Structure 1
């Protein structure tokens, strides 16, 4: 086993996951126009992705008890890439819903698989690494968003962007997969999987869900917020998600250093507070520059929320890491996928600014409950 090589391969998989998510996220305005959707219909399409994740996650522990992340990664990424690359090809709204459902299902399983491997690599290396892996997810998100910012002025069509990016990312994942651990399943991995989070996992899951509402909001609504509420041009609007992801990547690459020196509860409390302040700034000052600055602060704040919670989920006594992560992800992914539709429903009734305000509120709740969620356990 080459741990350094496996670490590099897993970083590539996190990058692919983030870039795929961002690739379709920056095309939300194009998807809305292509299918002639209002905010509510667009929110339902996003909810279909959340439904796919909710269907997949209760089975994730059982699936990972039988097959390693290395074996699962190529097929799951192939499904994700095919769905993302096809989003602007059909004209029927029902087909869009089916694509989003399949994407949510495969992306959720892929996320649990790579986080399971990240927990194992962190254990073998005997030092914090989870934040750095999630930093690659954010770096992928920044790259996916920045790519469209560069391609849009050149006249590249949204459909061509989706298809080309999906193909390139699928090939990168396929090339990296053989170098992952491919470890044998431990006996503890074969115990009955948790279908829903219980006990300490429940609060970890709730906070992950609240934190991932913010990430999901940036993926799905930051570009539209800048375009629709602040009248920013397309090239500037696409930087909304890039500024968030870039700042989040910086925060995560420094997160392992911070985790080695700052108590987890203290770090989570500060992270939630900074995220709340960042989103409040973006909404309070109606200028694209202020929004980009606020999104960047929010990215720094949210950078270590999920790594801290997922790492804690993989270390709950008496629970196999894959099952703990899957249980917390079941709530966390519901937040990422269902949060943006919730924002859409509020936007339809009031405004997108009002809808995004819930992100600031949820970040404040994460800060308030940090001590209770991450208190030491025997």
Structure 2
């Protein structure tokens, strides 16, 4: 009896020790995942913060370099081209070497390029820096979203929208900080160099907490319990010049529709409020501000909504909301109706890109990096195609007619979401 009691005692003790060890491992894993999330969010924040700072002072940069409006527009186009060109290559890099390596490198290069824009002696050298900052930003976009997909997998629930909300918050704070530096007439190089130092320190610290990725399987090491597998073709890319996978193409087209809408709001919302509605500069500025606030709110609530409604249902509702939001001011161009409509558009478009990236990064048979790169490249094309088409239609038929192009894309987005569900 004594021996049996001792055996029972040892079994109970061993079980208790195992429970404590398992509990300790769970606590360690949770802490590690939380650090991963904070680290990846830091990249999103710094990206938005620095981008807003240098774009907020573009007028001063234009005067400093003696650029005409045409030349400035050309430089911005060169930067955008650099971003789009880099994205397929970034997808290949993240799959070949791991996004835990490409994200810090791209982030640090992006931060380092920001103050270099100011020391250019002329527009020719500036065009090189604009192209390089575009390439680093495009690579960072793909890489950090790849990391976000891995963190989301580890959490086993939707959290992608929260990363994009952090980006939006970074942009809002960055725009405010940039305005303060401009108000107190800080030397442009000193302003950007100071913030670049902040970015370098923040990203260097965050780099130690990236999700470790096995290059052979294009999956994170600390997610070994996942049942998802990658095909050999997906995990061993032979070339970065690939046509979009059939499963990713509809996602890219949805991103195209959404990003064209975002570009339309950025470029034309204030002008619509001024010329069509006929309002003061205050309300014209408030137009895009209303859209931006709604985008941030939508992204902060996006993960909760995705978990409760599901991706397809939420995307369907968002397509309808964006469509109705733009239809309202086109039919009833009055101040408060227009502001309400722009708010609806912001809510409707808020989760489009996060959901597309999350879905593309989890597409079977395609590595996360390549899936995100494909969807991002197609989506960013909306920033090229949208503004000139809307501008041409606005010149020929009026701005209300021009924005019908964006309205039609919101309708197409709803159809594509429905097709995906089927």
| TM-score of the pair, normalised by structure 2 | 0.74
Report SS of the residue matched to 2:248.
helix
Moved more, 236-245 or 129-138: 236-245
CA distance in 2, matches of 1:356, 1:28: 26
Moved more, 321-330 or 93-102: 93-102
- Going from structure 1 to structure 2, the CA distance change for 1:198 and 1:69 (only over 3 Å counts) comes to closer
Q: Do structure 1's residue 375 and structure 2's residue 421 form an aligned pair? A: yes
Report SS of the residue matched to 1:364.
helix
Deviations 1:248-291 (A, max 9, x none): 2221121111111213222112223333444566777586x877
CA distance in 1, matches of 2:265, 2:381: 15
1:327 pairs with 374, 390, 407, which one?
374
1:303 offset after TM fit, Å? 0.8
1:264 pairs with 311, 330, 344, which one?
311
Q: State the structure with more CA Rg.
A: 2
1:46 offset after TM fit, Å? 2.8
Report SS of the residue matched to 2:245.
coil
Is 2:95–2:367's contact at 8 Å kept on the other side of the alignment? no
CA distance in 2, matches of 1:174, 1:215: 31
1:21 offset after TM fit, Å? 3.0
CA distance in 1, matches of 2:102, 2:114: 19
- Give the structure 2 partner of residue 52 of structure 1: 82
Report SS of the residue matched to 1:254.
helix
Q: Do structure 1's residue 63 and structure 2's residue 112 form an aligned pair? A: no
* Pairs within 5 Å for 1:175-186: 175-186=205-216
CA distance in 1, matches of 2:356, 2:290: 23
Q: Do structure 1's residue 232 and structure 2's residue 281 form an aligned pair? A: yes
1:20 offset after TM fit, Å? 2.9
1:45 offset after TM fit, Å? 2.7
CA distance in 1, matches of 2:333, 2:385: 27
- Give the structure 2 partner of residue 172 of structure 1: 202
Q: Do structure 1's residue 366 and structure 2's residue 413 form an aligned pair? A: yes
- Going from structure 1 to structure 2, the CA distance change for 1:9 and 1:79 (only over 3 Å counts) comes to same
1:124 offset after TM fit, Å? 1.6
- Give the structure 1 partner of residue 163 of structure 2: 133
Report SS of the residue matched to 2:243.
coil
Is 1:25–1:219's contact at 8 Å kept on the other side of the alignment? no
| TM-score of the pair, normalised by structure 1 | 0.82
CA distance in 1, matches of 2:354, 2:35: 21
- Give the structure 2 partner of residue 110 of structure 1: 140
- Give the structure 2 partner of residue 147 of structure 1: 177
CA distance in 2, matches of 1:286, 1:368: 29
- Going from structure 1 to structure 2, the CA distance change for 1:50 and 1:266 (only over 3 Å counts) comes to same
1:224 offset after TM fit, Å? 8.0
1:5 offset after TM fit, Å? 0.5
Q: Do structure 1's residue 206 and structure 2's residue 237 form an aligned pair? A: no
1:7 pairs with 11, 16, 37, which one?
37
Is 2:95–2:370's contact at 8 Å kept on the other side of the alignment? no
CA distance in 1, matches of 2:38, 2:415: 35
Task: Provide the alpha-carbon RMSD of the alignment.
Answer: 3.5
Is 2:96–2:237's contact at 8 Å kept on the other side of the alignment? no
CA distance in 2, matches of 1:164, 1:341: 36
Q: Which one has more relative contact order, counting CA pairs under 8 Å at least 6 apart?
A: 1
Structure 1 residue runs of 5 or longer lacking an equivalent are none
* Pairs within 5 Å for 1:330-341: 330-336=377-383, 339-340=386-387
The alignment of Structure 1 onto Structure 2 pairs a total of residues equal to 371
Is 2:248–2:374's contact at 8 Å kept on the other side of the alignment? yes
- Going from structure 1 to structure 2, the CA distance change for 1:280 and 1:264 (only over 3 Å counts) comes to same
CA distance in 2, matches of 1:32, 1:221: 21
CA distance in 2, matches of 1:291, 1:83: 38
- Going from structure 1 to structure 2, the CA distance change for 1:274 and 1:143 (only over 3 Å counts) comes to farther
Deviations 1:27-72 (A, max 9, x none): 455455554433x554433321232123212222321123333322
Is 1:73–1:173's contact at 8 Å kept on the other side of the alignment? no
Moved more, 158-167 or 61-70: 158-167
1:6 offset after TM fit, Å? 0.6
* Pairs within 5 Å for 1:12-51: 12-31=42-61, 35-38=66-69, 41-51=71-81
1:163 offset after TM fit, Å? 4.3
Deviations 1:285-307 (A, max 9, x none): 586x8776654433222110011
CA distance in 1, matches of 2:334, 2:189: 31
